[in-house]
Amino acid sequence: MVIDDGHKTSSSTTAAGIVNPITGRSYVKSWMIDTLLPAVKDTYLSFSEVLGAPLYHDRDVKRVLFSVKNENAWLSRYGQQEYQDYMSKDIESYFKSDVIHNQGSVGTVLSGGQLDTRMFLREVRQYLESSNSYLHAQFDHDILEPKTKGISYQNHFADKLIFAEGFAVIHNPFFNYLPFDPVKGEALIIHAPDLKLEHNYRDSIFISPLGHDDYWCGAGYNKQWTDDLPSQLEYDRIAQILAKLIKCDYKIIDHRAGIRPATKTRKPLLGQHPVHKSLYICNGMGAKGTSLAPYICDRFLASLEGEVAFDLDECNIQKYAHLYSLTQ
């Protein structure tokens, strides 16, 4: 049974859903990417097949290299054998310069992809509804009764309850002792019929195709947020970047904001509550839920079913049990 409030505070509905194996200023491989990528493809392609919807697309990332120093850093990374499946050897000088103002040359991050997160959530919800496994409601922590074995909540009884509330975990009295560090981000959606971009394009912001000539453009990282609403400041910032970057006609058609469930350790947080043994958490996917969730959640669920031990120590909340006792 899934209980959700209709994505009231969802990060996923704002996300671009990009899977980007190479990140950061020095072009490093994302944490565990060799292990995560096969699970990404397996999972989303299986969901696409079962749900009959094109949820996932292979999509490289065209990354702008702003200087000769960037180009050298790129080429030097490419020189490392373990990077060659993820980076192009060649650097392009004029990438789509008819419609984009190139601010440098462009390297290609290979093996990337993109999940249509909104379609994914819609299709999964319909599937759950059709099997009476979805409840559209606000979960009220105050009326939850954790018992020695199992839980009872209104007229529901379960062996286990897994909280997957995104950044709203900060309001969850059972798990808000964990080291979360949520980060706000905002994106503009544009309609640009002449842009004809098939890749993700990474300048100072991402421009990412959504289909039907719409593009996702964003997003900032704001730790000092006070709400999860779209702000004029970010609208203006992204709009100004777009005005410099895109040569063809376009129209801004939407503005979205969300808060990433990031953590101080920059790793997901999963595991069993230190006292209430029927309560679990599956959270902390930060800025990379699309690539992390398939593998990490699968390992976690397999451990709940008793198939394997949950062996991802970096993500296991066990080590924070002392913090919970401090809050009691």
> Which residues make up the interface to ligand FAD (CB under 6 A)?
3-5, 7-12, 14-18, 138-139, 164-166, 168, 185-187, 218-219, 258, 260-261, 283, 285-291
Which residues 6+ apart lie within 8 Å of 189 measured at CB? 210, 214, 215, 216, 217, 252, 253, 254, 255, 256
What are residue 14's phi and psi, to 5 degrees? -95, -25
Tokens for 222, please give them: 């704001």
Cβ(218)–Cβ(205) below 8 Å: yes
Cis peptide before 219 (omega within 30 of 0): yes
Which residue's CB is nearer to ligand FAD, number 104 or number 220?
220
Query: Which H/E stretch holds residue 293?
Result: helix 289-304
Cβ distance to ligand FAD smaller for residue 88 or 176: 176
Question: 100 or 186: whose CB is closer to ligand FAD?
Answer: 186
Return the C-alpha torsion angle 43, 47, 53, 59, nearest 10: 0
Q: Residue of minimal CB distance from ligand FAD?
A: 166
CB of 90 to ligand FAD, least distance (A): 25
Min dist CB 98 to ligand FAD, Å, is 26
β-strand partners of 146: 151
Q: Which is nearer to ligand FAD, 256 or 277 (CB)?
A: 256
Whole-number minimum distance, CB 175 to ligand FAD, in Å?
A: 11
Closer CB to ligand FAD, residue 209 or residue 258?
258
Closest distance between ligand FAD and the C-beta of residue 187, in Å? Answer: 5
Q: What's the min distance (Å) between Cβ of 282 and ligand FAD?
A: 8
Which residue's structure tokens are 């996923």? 12
| Closest to ligand FAD by CB, 51 or 210 | 210
Q: Which CB atom, from 192 or from 207, has the smaller least distance to ligand FAD?
A: 207
Q: How far is the CB of 180 from ligand FAD (least distance, A)?
A: 11
Q: How far apart are alpha carbons 239 and 96 in whole angstroms?
A: 20
- In the bound complex, what is the minimum distance in angstroms from residue 207's beta carbon to ligand FAD? 12
The single-letter code of the amino acid at 241 is I
Rounded Cα distance, 4 and 22, in Å: 33
Token pair belonging to 195: 């842009």
DSSP string, 178-208: S-B--EEEEEEEEE-TTT---SEEESSSEEE
* Least Cβ distance, residue 89 to ligand FAD (angstroms): 26
Task: Pick between residue 105 and residue 294 the one whose CB is nearest to ligand FAD.
Answer: 294
Angle in degrees, CA 257, 236, 188, rounded to 5: 40
